[in-house]
Amino acid sequence: MTLNPSSERNRIVVLNRWSDDFAAYHRYIDHTAHDVAYVCTPNGAAALAAPHIAHVEHVPDFVDERALHEAVLACSAALGGIDRLIALSEFDLMAAARLRNAFGIFGDRPFTVVRFRDKAVMKRAVAAADLRVPRFVAMKDVVFRDPKLIGAMRFPLILKPRSGAASAGVRRVDTRAQLDALWPTLPLADYECEEYIEGTIYHVDGFVAGGAFAIARASRYVNTCLDFAQGKPLGSVMLDPGPLNDALLTFARACLHALALSDGAFHIEIIDGVDGLYFLEVGARVGGGEIPFLFRDLYGVDLFHLWVAQQSGDKAHFDARLAATRAVSASPRRGGFLMLPEPIGSRFVDAELPEGIAALYHAILPKRDHVFEGKGGYDTILARFRYRGTSEDEIAAAIDATLREFRFTLTDVVTSMNRGGPLDDLRDCTPRPT
C-alpha cells in the first residue's frame, strides 16, 4: 500500500507462516543484493530455500505478538537495523504494521492496515465516498451506544467477525428469534452486522500501481465463500470483456480510491444487487484459493512476486516486474477454478478425474488415506480444479461438467466404504445457474 522504492541494499525481515509454494522468497528477493532475515513458524522455516539467509528466528506461531517483537528485535540486531518488513498472510498484516511502528520501519502503519482488516471501518470509508454498501453496524455500537440500531435493519442479517477471512465465523440470521438466541454466544465487540443483499457475488483481483490497475480481472463466484464454509463447492469464472466487466472494474477502482489503496495487491468482493453494485469487503493482499495460480498460469504474472518486489523496496526489480505485468494485462485468456470442500470425518481412498473437459488443465487431490478433519482451509480439501479457455461460457460449462462427472471414493473413519461424487457426498452442491 505504501510505495517508496530504493536502489540501495536493504535489510529485510520477512514474517513467514507458509510451508508451500507461497513461501518462494528465494524467487522473489535477491538474497545476494539484500540482507534478508526471517521470522518463521516451524512449518514456515522448513519451506525456506534461499541459499544466502542472513538470520532466522523461530516462533511457535504469530499469535503472541510479544514473542514476535522479540524475534524481530533479534533480527534487527543480526542485520544492524531493518529497512523493510514483509508480511503476506492477511492474518499477519496488522502485526507487521505494529512492528513497523515499534521499530521505525518504513511501510504501512496500523491506521492504514485497519481499513483492509476491519469490515466496519472499510465500509465506512467506502460509504463516505457515496458508493453503495449494505446497511451495517458494528456490534459494539449496539451494545455500548444505541441498542435500537439493530431494530432499524431488515432481515435477513449477516453477522461477521470484523477482522475475519474466508467466511470463518460468519452467520446468516433470518429472524429476530434467531438473533436473540445467537446474541449471547458472540464476542460482540469483534463482530459487525449487515443486511443481506440478494444478488450475484463477484470478486475483482489484481495489482494497482500509482492508483491505476497494472492488471485486474473480474470474476463471478459459483456459490459463495459462506456456502463453502457450510460444505458446498466454491467456484469462480472470469468474466468476458463487456458492460458488466467494465462496471465491476470501475466500481472496484472507485472503492480502492476511497480506501486510499494506490499501490499493492488487492482482492475485493462486490454484490450485484437489484439497484446496483454494492461493496462487500476488501483485502489489501493477493486473493486466496486458486486465484494466484490462475494469474500465474494464464498470464505469467506472479502476484506474490510483484507484491514482494514492491514491499522490499528494490526499485529496479519492481519496475521490471510491473512492466511485464502491464504488458500482458490485456490478454483475452480467461480462467476459473472449482474447490470441493472437506467431507469431514472421512478418509480419502481414490478418485477418477473427468475426461474430455478441454478447459480443465490442473487438478489437485489429497494423498491416499488422508483424513479430513476440517482444518484444510482452501488447501487440503477434497479436490481443487483450475480451468483456462477463451470465454466465460467455456469455463462455466467446464465447471458444471466437473461437478457432474467427478467421482471419488471415501471411507468413513469409523464405518464402511462409500463411493460417490459431489452430488452424493457433499449435500446440496448444485452451483448457481450460469
Last residue of a domain, one of 330, 360, 382: 330
pLDDT of residue 433: 32
323 in any annotated domain: yes
Coil, strand or helix at 271: strand
Q: Evaluate the omega torsion of the peptide bond into residue 42 and state whether it is cis, within 30 degrees of 0.
A: no
pLDDT grade, residue 430 (50/70/90)? Answer: very low
Query: What does the CA dihedral 116, 121, 133, 239 come to, rounded to 10 degrees?
Result: 0
Domain range for 155 is 135-195
Q: Which amino acid is at 138?
A: A
Of residues 127 and 1, more confidence is placed in: 127
pLDDT digits (tens, 9 = 90+) for 212-228: 999 999 999 999 988 99
Of residues 188 and 253, more confidence is placed in: 253
pLDDT of residue 372: 94
CATH number at residue 217: 3.30.470.20
Q: Is 101 exposed, middle or buried (0-12, 13-18, 19+ CB in 10 A)?
A: middle
pLDDT digits (tens, 9 = 90+) for 160-200: 999 877 678 899 999 988 988 888 888 888 999 999 999 99
Residues 180 and 253 in one domain: no
Last residue of a domain, one of 296, 330, 364: 330
pLDDT of residue 188: 83
CATH number at residue 66: 3.40.50.20
Average pLDDT over residues 94-113: 96
Evaluate if residue 6 carries a pLDDT over 70: no
Alpha-carbon gap, residue 185 to 182, rounded angstroms: 6
Q: Please state the domain count of the chain.
A: 4
Residues 324 and 203 in one domain: yes
Residues 231 and 180 in one domain: no
Is the pTM higher than 0.95? Answer: no
259 in any annotated domain: yes
Evaluate if residue 39 carries a pLDDT over 70: yes
pLDDT digits (tens, 9 = 90+) for 320-333: 999 999 999 999 99
Which among 277, 125, 134, 295 is positioned nearest to 205, based on CA atoms?
295
Give me the percent of the chain exceeding a pLDDT of 70.
92
Cell of 2: 505504501
Residues 78 and 37 in one domain: yes
Residues 180 and 240 in one domain: no
pLDDT digits (tens, 9 = 90+) for 410-421: 999 865 556 565
Average pLDDT, the chain: 90
Residues 53 and 107 in one domain: yes
Last residue of a domain, one of 161, 195, 229: 195
Alpha-carbon gap, residue 378 to 298, rounded angstroms: 20
Residues 175 and 211 in one domain: no
pLDDT of residue 432: 34
Contact assessment for residue 63 and residue 92, using Cβ atoms and an 8 Å cutoff? no
Residues 220 and 317 in one domain: yes
Residues 210 and 326 in one domain: yes
Contact assessment for residue 234 and residue 226, using Cβ atoms and an 8 Å cutoff? no
pLDDT of residue 334: 98
pLDDT of residue 426: 46
